[in-house]
């Protein structure tokens, strides 16, 4: 059947793991995902991260150039590891955080030793030179010449954040054995960037009762729509009776089959919804960017290879088939697919992957970067034919959306440094690699944070123009039910830079700019991926984080109840906290596409 935009889900599905073009054991894959979700989510209250849980990240053997732990901005922040007993030590090897231009924070790092965790003696103070580790294979190595200690501490002698990648400790008895690996660690504080690194020893509890209650609510909702749900409803109640007999404290191996049966019953209920009247779904498979930040996630130089634009046929059948529409592309990254209103065409952004680009020290000089390493907008037919590249140049273009008049609105770094809105400045980017405009809290030439804002072009990629004069970032446009363009804006002009990624709207020509929600709201941080709900005045959006990629908890927004704060919001996924402003959840949602 023809895919209709009004009833097509653009979502990340388990089915993306299906082998292309072949019928699969899809039941096994669906169940594997459900079991994974039960393990990761562990439905229930999310406990705050404690210092020991975050500190474990610096002695877990993972060396990736990011932070293994992250303290708060303390007077003299510290991290230490307990080796279990005193050892004559040969050396300590420190791998620094190497991303985001933050390595210099460890310039005055000191090392202290103790035999009891109370009395400390300083054995090393760094000279201020910047060191890295995982990214250049040149960690800081401090010789200790057999001095004995049980505790090894890394500390800053001044106020600041302490965040290291990994700390290794070697003794004289075996200079190849890392004594710190897997040992208990602690640190001075936790921060909003702290996460749990320790293994969870609590037994897995399958949330059978929660799934049953969810299914009952869904069945009641479907009955109110006139849908016959008797068969699936009976199946659900049979599972409920068996679960009651087994009991909530039963062994996981007894509850797992009931959990899966409950999930299948709820799945059948969900598919009986008359709005799900399609049998094909378009989606993207991609590897997340190497830099986890709401701004940096859209720069081609941080992209990682893998994935493509896919269609899953036979979504409702027992033998779904997967088709890749972009298998002929060079290895790269695909993002932001969008269907035309008649579902005949697809917009998406793509950049080619170059292994060396992320490590280029001067990304401000665009001569150092291949043009196709930037994200550009492409269009093709829904069957993969008729491919056209719509944008070019050393600029990142993405998040393209069809406008009702046939034009295309999108995000782009083409705003420039001087005349930042209009046709002349945008068209000038077609003939030269002009300098970008950068956010004031960026990371320098190795991590330039180029501002992107709303732009419009015609259906052929011409008549390019910026429609926003704003000096800072804008994100995730969509066309609202009333024809306006919804988008997020980082409005920190003359105020704090952290929490104000709020929801705005404008006419497709850039006129009638209005703040929609959250311009003075600190929780959630980011109002991303807003879309109109059909036949409703309400919107859906993703409550996301500042220091992370787009993703978080899903909310309904009713602006009749207010324009700021929590009152206008209904949390659709309350098991996922608002990331960063309330904590760091173990799972997240993204890219909501409402059907009703």
Tell me the per-residue pLDDT of 453-499, one tens digit each, with 9 for 90 and over: 999 999 999 999 999 988 889 999 999 999 999 999 998 766 766 67
DSSP secondary structure letters along 254-273: HHHHHHHHHHHHHHHHHHT-
DSSP string computed for 427-486 = HHTTTS-PPPPB-TT---TTS--B--EEEEE-TTS-S-EE----SS-EEEEEE-TTSPEE
pLDDT grade for 441, boundaries at 50, 70 and 90: low
Query: Which residues sit opposite 583 in a β-bridge?
Result: 579
CB of 466 closer than 8 Å to CB of 453: yes
The pLDDT assigned to 18 comes to 43
Instruction: Give the rounded distance of the alpha carbon of 238 from its chain centre.
Output: 38
Quick one: tokens of 80? 């230490």
How many degrees, rounded to 5, is the angle at CA 338 between CA 456 and CA 502?
65
Mean pLDDT of 35-56: 80
Q: What is the pLDDT of residues 85-132, one digit of tens each?
A: 999 999 999 999 998 778 999 999 999 999 999 999 999 999 999 999
In angstroms, the CA 47 to CA 123 distance is 37
At 291 the pLDDT is: 83
| Contacts for 46-51: CB closer than 8 Å, 24+ residues apart | 46/577, 46/583, 46/585, 46/586, 48/190, 48/583, 49/190, 49/194, 49/195, 49/196, 49/583, 49/584, 50/190, 51/186, 51/187, 51/188, 51/189, 51/190, 51/194
Tokens at 20, concatenated:
């292309």
> What are phi and psi for residue 187, nearest 5 degrees?
-150, 170
Residue 7 has pLDDT above 80, yes or no: no
> Cα(448)–Cα(413) distance, rounded to whole angstroms?
12
- Model confidence band, residue 437 (pLDDT cutoffs 50, 70, 90): confident
Look at 17 and 63; give whichever has higher pLDDT: 63
Whether this model's pTM surpasses 0.85: no
Please, what sign has the CA dihedral across residues 248, 249, 252, 257? negative
Region 289-316: mean pLDDT is 92
pLDDT the model gives residue 158: 97
Q: Find tokens 């310039």 and name the residue.
A: 107
pLDDT at 9 over 70: no
CA distances from 177 to 12, 124, 231 (A): 42, 22, 61
E strands present in 272-407? 280-286, 307-313, 321-324, 332-339, 345-352, 376-381, 388-389, 397-402
Share of the chain above pLDDT 70, in %: 92
Q: Given a cut of 60, is residue 525 above it in pLDDT? A: yes
Q: Which two tokens stand for residue 41?
A: 């989510």
Instruction: Kindly provide the b/e burial profile for residues 497-525, where b requires at least 16 CB atoms within 10 angstroms of the residue's own CB.
Output: eebbbbbbbbebebeeeeebbbeebeebb
Task: Identify whether the C-beta of residue 486 lies closer than 8 Å to the C-beta of residue 516.
Answer: yes
Q: Cα–Cα–Cα angle for 281, 452, 365, nearest 5°?
A: 115
Q: How far apart are the first and last CA of the chain?
A: 21
CB atoms within 10 A of CB 405: 11
Q: Rounded to 5 degrees, what angle do the CA atoms 484, 487, 493 make?
A: 120
Q: What is the CA radius of gyration of the chain?
A: 26
Mean pLDDT lowest for which of 204-213, 360-369, 420-429? Answer: 420-429
Query: Which residues lie closer than 8 Å to 317 by C-beta, 6 or more apart?
Result: 279
Q: Nearest Cα to 171, choosing from 181, 159, 157, 185?
A: 181
Please work out, in degrees rounded to the nearest 5, the angle formed at the alpha carbon of residue 77 by the alpha carbons of 73 and 80.
Answer: 140
How far is Cα 89 from Cα 173, in angstroms, rounded to an integer?
A: 8
Positive or negative torsion for Cα 528, 313, 5, 402: positive
Across 164-173, 248-257, 368-377, least confident range: 248-257
Residue 379 has pLDDT above 80, yes or no: yes
Cβ-Cβ contacts under 8 Å for 245 (sequence gap 6 or more): none
pLDDT at res. 426: 81
Question: Which residue, among 528, 522, 475, has the nearest Cα to 499 in the 3D structure?
Answer: 522
Beta-bridge partners for 167: 94
Q: Report in angstroms the alpha-carbon separations of 9 from 12, 13, 271, 281, 543.
A: 9, 10, 13, 6, 19
Show the tokens assigned to 495: 């105020």
**Percent of the chain topping pLDDT 90:** 73
Q: List, in sequence order, the alpha helices (H) in 283-359.
A: none
SS3 193: coil
Residues 6+ apart with CB under 8 A from 441: 449, 497
C-alpha to C-alpha distance for 357 and 372, rounded to whole angstroms? 11
Rounded to 5 degrees, what are φ and ψ at 110? -115, 150
What pLDDT, on a 0 to 100 scale, did the predictor assign at position 1? 27
Report the range of poorest mean pLDDT among 13-22, 27-36, 86-95, 568-577: 13-22
pLDDT of 13 over the 70 cut:
no
- Hey, how many other C-beta atoms are within 10 angstroms of the C-beta on 293? 20
Average pLDDT for 298-315: 94
Q: Which residue has the tokens 């990994």?
A: 166
pLDDT digits (tens, 9 = 90+) for 538-594: 999 999 998 888 999 999 999 999 999 999 999 999 989 999 888 888 789 999 999
CA neighbours within 13 Å on the CB side: how many for 163?
Answer: 27
Domain annotation for the chain: domains and CATH numbers: 5-45+202-271 (no CATH), 51-187 (2.60.120.260), 300-471 (no CATH), 476-596 (no CATH)
pLDDT surpassing 80 at residue 4: no
**Which of 19-33, 180-194, 234-248 bottoms out in mean pLDDT, i.e. has the lowest?**
19-33
Computed over every residue of the chain, the mean pLDDT equals: 90
Instruction: Show the tokens assigned to 333.
Output: 């990254």
**30-31-36-41 Cα dihedral, nearest 10 degrees:** 90
């Amino acid at each position: 059947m023809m895919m209709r935009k009004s009833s097509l889900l653009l979502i990340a599905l388990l089915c993306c793991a299906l082998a292309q073009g072949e019928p699969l054991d899809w039941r096994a894959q669906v169940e594997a995902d459900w079991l994974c979700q039960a393990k990761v989510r562990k439905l229930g209250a999310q406990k705050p991260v404690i210092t020991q849980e975050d500190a474990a990240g610096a002695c877990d053997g993972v060396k990736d150039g990011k932070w293994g732990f992250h303290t708060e901005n303390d007077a003299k922040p510290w991290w230490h590891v307990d080796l279990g007993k005193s050892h004559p030590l040969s050396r300590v090897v420190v791998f620094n955080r190497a991303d985001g231009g933050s390595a210099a924070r460890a310039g005055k790092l000191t090392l202290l030793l103790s035999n009891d965790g109370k009395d400390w003696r300083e054995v090393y103070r760094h000279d201020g030179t910047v060191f890295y580790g995982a990214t250049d294979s040149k960690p800081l190595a401090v010789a200790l010449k057999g001095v004995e200690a049980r505790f090894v501490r890394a500390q800053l002698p001044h106020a600041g954040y302490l965040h290291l990648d990994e700390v290794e400790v070697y003794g004289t008895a075996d200079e190849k054995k890392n004594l710190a690996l897997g040992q208990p660690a602690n640190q001075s504080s936790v921060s909003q960037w702290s996460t749990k690194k320790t293994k969870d020893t609590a037994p897995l509890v399958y949330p059978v009762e929660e799934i049953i209650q969810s299914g009952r609510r869904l069945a009641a909702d479907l009955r109110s729509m006139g849908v016959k749900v008797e068969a699936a409803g009976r199946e659900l109640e049979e599972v409920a009776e068996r679960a009651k007999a087994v009991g909530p404290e039963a062994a996981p191996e007894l509850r797992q089959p009931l959990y899966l049966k409950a999930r299948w019953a709820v799945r059948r209920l969900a598919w009986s919804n008359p709005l799900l009247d399609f049998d094909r779904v378009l989606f993207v498979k991609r590897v997340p960017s190497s830099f986890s930040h709401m701004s940096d996630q859209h720069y081609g130089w941080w992209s990682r290879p893998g994935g493509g634009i896919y269609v899953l046929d036979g979504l409702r059948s027992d033998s779904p088939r997967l088709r890749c529409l972009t298998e002929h592309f060079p290895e790269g990254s695909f993002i932001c697919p969008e269907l035309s209103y008649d579902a005949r065409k697809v917009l998406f952004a793509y950049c080619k992957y170059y292994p060396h680009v992320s490590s280029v020290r001067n990304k401000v000089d665009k001569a150092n970067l291949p043009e196709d390493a930037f994200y550009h907008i492409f269009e093709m037919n829904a069957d993969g034919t008729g491919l056209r590249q719509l944008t070019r140049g050393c600029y990142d273009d993405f998040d393209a959306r069809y406008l009702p008049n046939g034009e295309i609105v999108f995000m782009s770094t083409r705003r420039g440094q001087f005349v930042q809105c209009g046709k002349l400045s945008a068209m000038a980017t077609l003939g030269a690699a002009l300098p970008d405009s950068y956010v004031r809290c960026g990371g320098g030439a190795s991590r330039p944070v180029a501002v992107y804002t709303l732009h419009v072009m015609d259906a052929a990629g011409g008549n390019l123009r910026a429609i926003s004069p704003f000096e800072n970032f804008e994100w995730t446009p969509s066309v609202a039910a009333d024809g306006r363009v919804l988008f997020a804006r980082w409005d920190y002009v003359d105020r704090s830079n952290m929490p104000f990624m709020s929801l705005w709207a404008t006419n497709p020509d850039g006129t009638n700019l209005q703040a929609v929600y959250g311009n003075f709201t600190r929780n959630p941080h980011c109002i991303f991926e807003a879309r109109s709900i059909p036949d409703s005045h309400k919107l859906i959006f993703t409550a996301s984080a500042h220091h992370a990629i787009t993703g978080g908890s899903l909310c309904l927004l009713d602006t009749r109840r207010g324009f700021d704060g929590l009152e206008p919001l209904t949390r659709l996924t309350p098991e996922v906290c608002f990331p960063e402003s309330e904590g760091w959840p173990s799972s997240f949602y993204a890219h909501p596409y409402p059907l009703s």
